[in-house]
Amino acid sequence: MTTNVQTRLTGPLATTRDLSGHRAVVTGGAGGIGTVTTRALAERGATVYIGARHTERAEVVRHSVLAAHRLPRTRIQVVALDLTDADSIRRFADEVGQAPIQTLVLNAAMSSVPFGRDANGTELQFATNHLGHFALTGGLLPALESSAGARVVTVSSALYPNGKLDLGRLDDPSGYSPGRAYIRSKLANAVFAVELDRRLVTAGGAVRSFGAHPGMARTPLHTTYPSAVTRVVTGMLARTIGRDPEPADIGILAAALSTEVTPDLFWGPIGSRRNPHAIGVPYARPAKDRALGAALWSASETLTGVSFLSGSEPAIR
């Protein structure tokens, strides 16, 4: 099914696949939206590998989810992953990618922090939210390709169309705005989701790439803004219009699990705060921009030193 109009799913999780025997990865699975995604996959039978910076804290989350939902101990595993550290990404991919992976959820993010850089000098939110996930996807691609019909779900934000992907200024602190840098990284997530799917289709395999978002959700993500005013305003917004992580996760889960979703749409929640539906809407123009997709891919390969699907770039007309 391919469509250019929105698709609203009333019961996407009623049409999920049985995930017994599946292996799944959720980055940032030890907090916020990622924990809900981890639990939903584990409940359906998948073994879920949580990529986490703070493994001790992640183990506490793991134990509480396993106990609360009476899941077998092996159903959730914690593996160290720091998305700003190339060696950590490589170790994670080497360990977890030893066997086929059916679901990769690129969920972890940092939001709206003061200007910082990764080891190569790239602005930290872009490095964490996009580059780390780019390198991880490259590292796990053989494991994804070796399972039938694997999915990569990149978690972006509904605000991505407001971003500017100024690839020539990724190390430039002048005029830095924490919020704008976050939105730039979320635009990169959306452009990546679309470009990855193009390249996967061109390569002719069965892996597909989906983009999704949680709307506004009440998670720790909104507590890091350097400006006290922004923290207060966003906190109020999260309390009044934000959803709890579980209902907010519906579009991400639909993208990961439902048999009714298509990769050409961007998936998120719509409707009531407690019981939303999943909706897929067409991507906004910058996410579909083929030249921008190719430029992001090339910049990401240069900045990470990780190259994949490079012979599979679709022709730009």
Ligand X SMILES: NC(=O)c1ccc[n+]([C@@H]2O[C@H](COP(=O)([O-])OP(=O)(O)OC[C@H]3O[C@@H](n4cnc5c(N)ncnc54)[C@H](OP(=O)(O)O)[C@@H]3O)[C@@H](O)[C@H]2O)c1
Q: Provide the H-helix boundaries in the chain.
A: 32-43, 55-68, 86-96, 124-126, 132-145, 178-203, 228-240, 245-248, 250-257, 285-288, 290-304
Minimum distance of ligand X from residue 112's CB (angstroms): 10
Q: Among residues 29 and 147, whose Cβ is nearest to ligand X?
A: 29
Minimum distance of ligand X from residue 242's CB (angstroms): 6
Binding interface with ligand X (CB under 6 A): 27-28, 30-34, 53-54, 81-84, 107-110, 128, 155, 157, 213-214, 216-217, 219-221
Q: Tell me, what DSSP letter sits at residue 294?
A: H
Report whether 138 contacts 145 (CB < 8 A): no
Q: Among residues 145 and 246, whose Cβ is nearest to ligand X?
A: 246
Q: How many CB atoms lie within 10 A of CB 311?
A: 9
Output the residue with the shortest Cβ distance to ligand X: 32
Q: Among residues 245 and 294, whose Cβ is nearest to ligand X?
A: 245
Q: Has 49 been annotated as catalytic?
A: no
> Which of 49, 160, 176, 283 does the annotation list as catalytic?
176
Q: Among residues 107 and 122, whose Cβ is nearest to ligand X?
A: 107
Minimum distance of ligand X from residue 155's CB (angstroms): 4
Tokens of 181: 């840098």
Minimum distance of ligand X from residue 202's CB (angstroms): 26
CA–CA gap between residue 107 and residue 60 (Å, rounded): 19
Q: How many CA atoms lie within 13 A of 131 on its CB side?
A: 27
Please identify every residue annotated as catalytic: 176
